[in-house]
Chains A and B, each alone.
Chain A
Amino acid sequence: MFGNIDPALLIAALMVNSVPIMLAATGELVVEKSGVLNLGVEGMMIMGAICGFVTAVVTGNPYLGFLGGALGAMALSAIFGFLTQVLQTNQVASGLALTLFGLGLSSLIGQSYVGIKPPATGDLPLGPLKDIPFLGEAVFGHDWMVYGSILIVAAVWWVLKYSRLGLILRAVGESHEAAHALGYKVTRIRMLAVLFGGALAGLGGAYVSLVRVPQWTDGITAGAGWIALAIVVFASWRPWRVLAGAYLFGGVSVLQLNLQAAGSVIPVEYLSMAPYLITILVLVIMSSGRGKAALAAPACLGQNFHASR
């Protein structure tokens, strides 16, 4: 069944395929650690995809494209932050609305960009590493975002675990009342976390439209944002597990594409629904092991904070 699938190519495709969900999930992890539940990841990703695409096409520079994608999604997350942190709206409803809004707005902006090819993002020149048999092809032949996203996961892990900034962020997500009593600015910290999450989701979205596909069509992120949300829970709010989760889900979707191409006997529909089915399955398993997974969640997740007296 796996006879004509090249493992080196499979790993290479897996690494590329996982970048968007890894970035978006890492961003969402930081947001949730601060106690905010932003369900608008899908909307922010697709805003990142279109803003990145437009910037790259207009400037002809793919790097500026990524910057544009991050800023576009950040702007959308700022709306969410303003609604939930300043106006105290319900986080679940605002997040869902954000996704709908992002899907619509991106479609509007993208009207005249359908069918255009963006400037290519070059591979990172890693010199002799690329000539290593197997590994060179599988691991060292990618663009800079692939390695950048792993570095971002490492940085987030380090900051959350070892830095004072990370400690304060976790504290705010754990008990906003106590953090406030100690004099930390809960709303400001959460707002910054939301913006950071938006920027990473935007980077992930831009990666979809600039590298993975690469072109613009409506709904290009195709549910990647929802998978990213699931991965955060799957990873029980730990950065390295986000990386593992992203590779797992990335791997499953690459494998199903390869199996389709290889003419598998399983009908195509089942193969393409596999990543989503596995998302649901993982979530069910994670949440049925009550206690452990529930305990890992930040205690104030999804609760609004208002400083009274």
Chain B
Amino acid sequence: MTGKVLLSVEGVTKAYPGVVANSDVSFQISEGEVHALLGENGAGKSTLVKMIYGLVRPDAGQMTLHGAPYHPAKPAEARRQGVAMVFQHFSLFEALNVAENVALGMENPPPLKALAGRIREVSQEYGLPLDPARMVGDLSAGERQRVEIIRCLLQDPKLLIMDEPTSVLTPQEVGILFKTLRQLASEGTAILYISHKLEEIRALCDEATILRRGKVVATCTPRDRTAREMAELMVGTVLTPPARSGRAKGDTALEVTGLSVASPIPFGTSLKDVSFKVRKGEVLGIAGVAGNGQDELLLALSGELKSAPGAVKIAGVAMGDTGPNDRRRAGLVAAPEERLGHAAAPDMSLVENALLSGVVRKGLTRRGFIDWGAAEVFAAGIVKDFDVRTPGTHVAARALSGGNLQKFVVGRELSQTPSVIVINQPTWGVDAAAAAAIRQAILDRASSGAAVVVISQDLDELLEIADDFAALNGGRLTQARPVEGLTVDEIGLMMGGTHGMEVAHHG
């Protein structure tokens, strides 16, 4: 199945001020091979593939492609030599149509009309139906990924790099993607597959290179290893899943009835008749593919987006038309997904950021003036309790790494003795140890009587901490069901099935 060596990377090193992203990394990939790059966030996977794709230049080391030295100075050069990449955060333009987006990623695109024809052809061939004239902003996440994949396929790549391609897909869509990738591999294309989802890698990949803190710590054949073995190689320690204690469920703390609001976000998804209830001590997990109304739901619950008074009830009181501060007073805290610019003001210090959300519930003002002393104590408490790695509370929020800032903004909300907690993507971009700590903190708040709504795209996370499970699909929320006894197939159907994907017809 696998042929001769296509790309070999030897001793590649790349350092940024203060951090060595890759140190002496070597691996090989052969024609027709599906090779996994495995590692936690920040292990250096993205930097490594950016070097292969010509976005970043290595400080030291060699790469050879087809046996010849390979030093792409820019992506255009990499593309000319047959290296294509599907990005983790899509490199698409929402206000342009599919054909224009594809053209932008190609070296010598044919005229748009001819290109539209070729897009149709290739999308049929690989079972990824796509209309070239549609605006990308109107497409679902799965469809957007198809745009990226087809953009790559049109250039007849020898090596296809996929950076965490499945994080935005339903289980069914993942199945179809894998079928397409296997078809490509059988045609001789090498695939470099980056992920931290171990079961996927076991199902798809022939070989795996495991990175930890920029170094290659192991190579293995994923089919011969258990997911747990690989996880421990990846993290370097033995992991303990969060403890879920039997919690007593109390009265209804948050009740949402027939919530319908228009999205304030361009190309966003409006909420349509969303209803659910969360009792004290209960964790409701809300899954869904990105862009199906998660951001809007958080806004509507936090009070940034107002609705009919009776649509949102906190402890039985209608609060749908009140703003965030009134809801904080009533006991509801919210942590949005976007850390910089939404959860935290990037250029303000941690103390100021702590004050901005904590002022109501922690009483950080005295006769209308800010009590800086108390704010400082509050911020320092968060840093200590949630193990935020920072030189001090005076530093600007943007100076913190993603994971540390996430710990800070989640910690800030959880430290306000809330009765209702709403969190969108609590562990996005956080390493495994910190993610476990955040999940444990959420469970601890629940066992002390808080009602929790966790919105996440990480199904494993939801299954680990939630009592009930519901999914957002096109702005509608499914009926909540107990997590126990749910199968992956059922979850996939709740998330909206395949979004019209079909399996490749040949190959």
Residues of A within 8 A of B (CB): 164, 167-168, 170-171, 174-175, 177-179, 181-184, 294-295, 298-299, 309
A174-B93 CB under 8 A given contacts A183-B55, A183-B75: yes
A183-B74 CB under 8 A given contacts A164-B103, A178-B90, A309-B47: yes
Taking CB atoms, residues of chain B closer than 8 Å to A184 are 104
Taking CB atoms, residues of chain B closer than 8 Å to A299 are 94-95, 266
CA distance A309 to B46 in the complex (A): 10
Indicate if B92 sits at the interface (CB-CB under 8 A).
yes
CA distance A167 to B115 in the complex (A): 14
> Which residues of chain B from 267 to 325 have any CB-CB distance to chain A below 8 Å in the complex?
none
A181-B91 CB under 8 A given contacts A170-B96, A171-B96, A309-B16: yes
CA distance A177 to B95 in the complex (A): 14
New A-B pairs, 11, CB < 8 Å, besides A178-B90, A181-B91: A167-B103, A170-B95, A171-B96, A175-B94, A177-B89, A177-B91, A181-B75, A182-B75, A183-B54, A299-B94, A309-B56
Indicate if B76 sits at the interface (CB-CB under 8 A).
yes
Taking CB atoms, residues of chain A closer than 8 Å to B142 are none
Determine whether the beta carbon of B105 is less than 8 Å from that of A182.
yes
Interface string of B29-61 (1 = CB under 8 A from A): 000000000000000000100100011100000
- What are 16 contact pairs spanning A and B, CB under 8 A? A171-B93, A171-B96, A171-B104, A174-B94, A174-B95, A175-B91, A177-B89, A177-B91, A178-B90, A179-B93, A179-B104, A181-B75, A182-B75, A294-B266, A299-B94, A309-B47
Indicate if B428 sits at the interface (CB-CB under 8 A).
no
CA distance A309 to B104 in the complex (A): 21
Q: How far is the CB of A177 from chain B (nearest CB, A)?
A: 8
Taking CB atoms, residues of chain A closer than 8 Å to B266 are 294-295, 299
CA distance A174 to B100 in the complex (A): 12
Indicate if B178 sits at the interface (CB-CB under 8 A).
no
CA distance A181 to B46 in the complex (A): 12
Residue of A nearest to B100 (CB): A167
Most buried by A among B16, B54, B266: B266
Indicate if B242 sits at the interface (CB-CB under 8 A).
no
Indicate if B109 sits at the interface (CB-CB under 8 A).
yes
Q: How far is the CB of B328 from chain A (nearest CB, A)?
A: 29
CA distance A249 to B104 in the complex (A): 37
Interface string of B76-101 (1 = CB under 8 A from A): 10000000000101111111100010
Determine whether the beta carbon of A168 is less than 8 Å from that of B94.
no
Taking CB atoms, residues of chain B closer than 8 Å to A294 are 266
Determine whether the beta carbon of B56 is less than 8 Å from that of A182.
no
CA distance A179 to B90 in the complex (A): 11
Partner of A164, one of B74, B93, B105, B109: B109
Taking CB atoms, residues of chain A closer than 8 Å to B100 are 167, 171
Residues of B within 8 A of A (CB): 16, 47, 50, 54-56, 74-76, 87, 89-96, 100, 103-105, 109, 266
Number of A-B contacts (CB under 8 A): 55
Determine whether the beta carbon of B91 is less than 8 Å from that of A178.
yes
Most buried by B among A177, A178, A181, A182: A182
Residue of B nearest to A296 (CB): B95
CA distance A171 to B93 in the complex (A): 7
Q: How far is the CB of A144 from chain B (nearest CB, A)?
A: 33
Determine whether the beta carbon of A183 is less than 8 Å from that of B93.
no
Taking CB atoms, residues of chain A closer than 8 Å to B109 are 164
Q: How far is the CB of B401 from chain A (nearest CB, A)?
A: 13
Residue of B nearest to A168 (CB): B104
Residue of A nearest to B72 (CB): A183
Q: How far is the CB of A94 from chain B (nearest CB, A)?
A: 19
A178-B74 CB under 8 A given contacts A167-B100, A171-B104, A183-B54: no
Most buried by B among A181, A295, A309: A181
Determine whether the beta carbon of B55 is less than 8 Å from that of A181.
yes
Determine whether the beta carbon of B93 is less than 8 Å from that of A175.
yes
Determine whether the beta carbon of B55 is less than 8 Å from that of A178.
no
Taking CB atoms, residues of chain A closer than 8 Å to B87 are 181
Partner of A183, one of B47, B76, B89, B103: B76
CA distance A168 to B105 in the complex (A): 10
Most buried by A among B55, B74, B104: B104
Taking CB atoms, residues of chain B closer than 8 Å to A170 are 93, 95-96
Most buried by A among B54, B93, B100: B93
Taking CB atoms, residues of chain A closer than 8 Å to B96 are 167, 170-171, 174
Determine whether the beta carbon of A182 is less than 8 Å from that of B104.
yes
CA distance A309 to B47 in the complex (A): 8
Taking CB atoms, residues of chain B closer than 8 Å to A164 are 103, 109
CA distance A26 to B62 in the complex (A): 48
Residue of B nearest to A308 (CB): B16
Taking CB atoms, residues of chain B closer than 8 Å to A181 are 55, 75, 87, 91
Partner of B91, one of A167, A168, A182: A182
CA distance A74 to B54 in the complex (A): 34
Q: How far is the CB of B499 from chain A (nearest CB, A)?
A: 22
Most buried by A among B16, B50, B94: B94
CA distance A183 to B104 in the complex (A): 10
Q: How far is the CB of A183 from chain B (nearest CB, A)?
A: 3
CA distance A184 to B95 in the complex (A): 18
Most buried by B among A174, A177, A295, A299: A174
Q: How far is the CB of B497 from chain A (nearest CB, A)?
A: 28
Taking CB atoms, residues of chain A closer than 8 Å to B89 are 177
CA distance A140 to B110 in the complex (A): 40
Residue of A nearest to B105 (CB): A182
Taking CB atoms, residues of chain B closer than 8 Å to A309 are 16, 47, 50, 56
Residue of A nearest to B111 (CB): A162
CA distance A81 to B366 in the complex (A): 47
Taking CB atoms, residues of chain B closer than 8 Å to A177 are 89, 91
User: Top 3 closest A-B pairs, CB basis?
Assistant: A183-B75, A181-B91, A178-B91
Taking CB atoms, residues of chain B closer than 8 Å to A167 are 96, 100, 103-104
CA distance A179 to B16 in the complex (A): 23
CA distance A179 to B105 in the complex (A): 9
Q: How far is the CB of B19 from chain A (nearest CB, A)?
A: 10
Residue of A nearest to B104 (CB): A171
Residue of B nearest to A299 (CB): B95
Taking CB atoms, residues of chain A closer than 8 Å to B55 are 181, 183
Q: How far is the CB of B338 from chain A (nearest CB, A)?
A: 14
CA distance A170 to B89 in the complex (A): 20
Most buried by B among A168, A170, A294, A298: A170
CA distance A299 to B91 in the complex (A): 14
Taking CB atoms, residues of chain A closer than 8 Å to B92 are 175, 178
Taking CB atoms, residues of chain A closer than 8 Å to B56 are 309
CA distance A4 to B223 in the complex (A): 91
CA distance A177 to B105 in the complex (A): 14
Q: How far is the CB of B163 from chain A (nearest CB, A)?
A: 10
CA distance A164 to B105 in the complex (A): 11
Taking CB atoms, residues of chain B closer than 8 Å to A175 are 91-94
CA distance A143 to B87 in the complex (A): 53
Taking CB atoms, residues of chain A closer than 8 Å to B95 are 170, 174, 295, 298-299
Q: How far is the CB of A5 from chain B (nearest CB, A)?
A: 43
Q: How far is the CB of B78 from chain A (nearest CB, A)?
A: 8
